[in-house]
Amino acid sequence: MSAESKRPLEQQITLLELVDRVLNKGVVLTGDIMLSVADVDLVYVGLRVLLASVGTLEELQAEAAER
Amino acid sequence: MIYLYAIAEELAELPPVAGVAGAALERRAVDGLELVVSELDGAALEPTEETLLAHARVVDELVPRAGALLPARFGRGFGDEGALVDAVRGRAEALREALRLVRGRVELGVRVVAEGAEPAPEADSGRAYMEARLAQTAERERLAEEVHRPLERLARASTRTVAATPRLVVSGAYLLELDDVEAFRTRVAELQARHPDLAVACTGPWPAYSFAPGDDE
């Protein structure tokens, strides 16, 4: 993999890591009310929203379609 | 509705940023734990770019202002003050233990991605196909261990998952002493050099999202 093709991938990974943390990690307390349905699929929904701004939307969609 | 961002110890002052939906940040103290919250109208919060980043920004800004901090998961609210206090008291021991663990440490993320999705194996029988798939899975697990082991040794705590998507090989979170961050990055670079066919990406430092008590305990 060339350094050129790798930069957007790392950007993608940073966003994936951020969304994964905010939606799927962090403290959960018993008795809280879930204000959004935050399951694994939503990581990709959120990611698509985020990635739309960095121009890698198509690739992500293609990847999601393969699943 | 009260929306929770983080639970901290020794919180100096609130950061000058707004919370989700532009709400002002507030703080509550419960048995020596500092909670950072905001009021939220309604009972729904969509995970949009704006709301996710607002949550993440508040947590990011709180980290340097606290002695120790656990980020809350996105999208969790409490009906009223009493419900929040009860929820924190019910989890107080696990929260204090996690705060001790993350104090003075940072989380780094490592994601190892293979260049393309692995092709489905070609096989002329169902059994041969299954065997080929199992071999692929075993190979991924072996690769995951090869990457994770040397990184784990530098960390105070770590988590990892394997192959959550067609391309991902392994995703790990590592809780590090500040002094070990440089050595950790060097080790990641060594792993990258050893595996030119993979992309080994190191992200962070992050707030300790991966080491906060979740809903699985």
Q: What is the pLDDT of residues B10-41, one digit of tens each?
A: 999 999 999 999 999 999 999 999 999 999 98
Q: Say what the pLDDT of residue B192 is.
A: 92
The single-letter code of the amino acid at B161 is T
H-helix or E-strand spanning residue B30:
strand B26-30
User: B117, A1: Cβ pair inside 8 Å?
Assistant: no
Nearest residue in A to B117, CA atom:
A63
User: A25, B210: Cβ pair inside 8 Å?
Assistant: yes
- The separation between the first and the last C-alpha atoms of chain B, rounded to the nearest angstrom, is 25
Q: Say what the pLDDT of residue B83 is.
A: 94
**B136 or A27: whose pLDDT is higher?**
A27
Total H helices, total E strands in chain B:
5, 9
Q: How confident is the model at residue B45 (pLDDT cuts 50, 70, 90)?
A: confident
From A2, A22, A6, A11, select the one nearest A55 (Cα to Cα).
A11
Q: Say what the pLDDT of residue A57 is.
A: 39
pLDDT tens digits, B122-137: 778 888 888 888 888 8
Cβ(B157)–Cβ(B175) below 8 Å: yes
Tell me the sheet residues that pair with B35. Answer: B7, B28
At B29, is the secondary structure helix, strand, or coil? strand
Q: Say what the pLDDT of residue B114 is.
A: 74
Cα gap B50→B21, rounded to integer Å? 9
| A50 in B contact zone (CB under 8 Å) | yes
Domains of chain B: 2-100 (no CATH), 105-211 (3.30.70)
User: B56, A45: Cβ pair inside 8 Å?
Assistant: no
Q: How confident is the model at residue B116 (pLDDT cuts 50, 70, 90)?
A: low
- Cβ partners under 8 Å of residue A40, min gap 6: A24, B164
Average pLDDT over residues A3-19: 68
- Give the percent of chain B with pLDDT over 90: 64
- From chain B, the residues in CB contact with A31 under 8 A are 78, 83, 86-87, 90
- Give the percent of chain B with pLDDT over 70: 93
- Whether A44 shows a pLDDT value over 60: the answer reads no
Residue A27 gets which letter from DSSP?
Answer: B
Q: Say what the pLDDT of residue A8 is.
A: 67
Given B40, B115, B166, which is nearest A66 (Cβ)? B166
Q: Kindly state the tokens that stand for B17.
A: 């940023």
**Helix axes A40-51 and B49-62, enclosed angle (nearest 10):** 100
Given B3, B44, B87, which is nearest A31 (Cβ)? B87
